[in-house]
């Protein structure tokens, strides 16, 4: 697939006045400046799988994009980036290697790290994979859009798992402060994936009732992340609110999340180039507000 014009425009705009290195290495700033050290941690919503071009120095298994929000944020703010984000990462992979050539993500943290962003939690207990895939499988033949069959099967299971994951997620946030005591830590929430009303069968074969159900699961996840961030000295970055209206059911050019069959360079049910650019703008604003 070809990289869309939007991705090229985003790269070109960010390149003005900056020497952008798409390999995940240092982003040079003005002469004599000493860029702050920025470590990006997280799962596929941070890594930006299949959003081209790929990050040359990241493990191929991680499907990390060179224009994901950490790279764009580092370029915009003149930060020295180490991007350890990796698709399919769980909270456990902060301290346990995910692949032989992808060490535990926390190994990137040092006492000199100044800024940390972390986007995690959606893969714990295979949450997103199970929820979206299972509901699609259950609802796929429900062409009459009746009820919430997936909710009838799973009930509060997903929400219960999210809340049960809270202590481990909070411990991960606290550990960042231990490893990088001078760092400002930003917990990046998940953007809106599904419409607030209705559905978009067959792009996403999920009934209106189950769309509402899955929206509730995502809101529960973001609420847990916000709660644990507040309890562990981190700043929560809300990426959900301003992304409403750009979900996977919207037309190409409007949506920031791709449906099950993507129309551009992106993994299904993940941010496209415009989505990663939106996430970058939101994270940049949070960092600027914090004085970075």
270 in catalytic set: yes
From the candidates 10, 37, 44, 243, give the one annotated as an active-site residue.
44
Burial of 57 (0-12, 13-18, 19+ CB in 10 A): middle
The count of other CB atoms within 10 Å of the CB of residue 95 is 13
From the candidates 80, 87, 246, 270, give the one annotated as an active-site residue.
270
- As a whole number of angstroms, the distance between CA 189 and CA 228 comes to 12
- As a whole number of angstroms, the distance between CA 201 and CA 195 comes to 12
What is residue 241's DSSP assignment?
A: G
The contacts of residue 44 (CB under 8 Å, 6+ apart) are 63, 85, 86, 87, 88, 89, 123, 267, 270
243 in catalytic set: no
Q: Mind telling me the catalytic residues?
A: 44, 270
């Amino acid at each position: 697939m070809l990289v869309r014009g939007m991705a090229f425009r985003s790269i070109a705009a960010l390149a003005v006045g900056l020497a952008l290195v798409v390999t995940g290495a240092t982003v040079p700033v003005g002469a004599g400046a000493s860029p702050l050290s920025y470590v990006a941690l997280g799962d596929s919503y941070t890594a930006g799988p299949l959003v081209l071009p790929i990050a040359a120095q990241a493990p191929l298994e991680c499907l990390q994009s060179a224009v994901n929000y950490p790279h764009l944020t580092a370029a915009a703010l003149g930060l020295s980036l180490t991007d350890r984000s990796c698709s399919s990462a769980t909270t456990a992979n902060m301290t346990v290697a995910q692949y032989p050539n992808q060490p535990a993500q926390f190994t990137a943290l040092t006492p000199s790290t100044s800024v940390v962003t972390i986007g995690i939690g959606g893969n714990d207990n295979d949450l997103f994979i199970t929820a979206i895939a299972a509901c699609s499988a259950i609802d796929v033949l429900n062409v009459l859009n009746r009820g919430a069959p997936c909710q009838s099967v799973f009930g509060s299971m997903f929400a219960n798992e999210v809340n049960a994951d809270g202590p481990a997620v909070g411990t991960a946030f606290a550990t960042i402060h231990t490893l990088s005591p001078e760092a400002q830590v930003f917990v990046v929430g998940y953007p809106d994936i599904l419409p607030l009303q209705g559905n978009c069968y067959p792009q996403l074969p999920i009934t209106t009732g189950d769309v509402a159900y899955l929206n509730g699961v995502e809101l529960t996840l973001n609420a847990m992340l916000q709660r644990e961030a507040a309890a562990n000295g981190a700043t929560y970055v809300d990426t959900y609110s301003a992304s409403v209206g750009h979900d996977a059911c919207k037309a190409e050019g409007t949506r920031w999340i791709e449906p099950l069959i993507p129309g551009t360079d992106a993994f299904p049910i993940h941010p496209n180039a415009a989505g990663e650019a939106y996430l970058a703008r939101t994270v940049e604003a949070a960092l600027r507000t914090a004085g970075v």
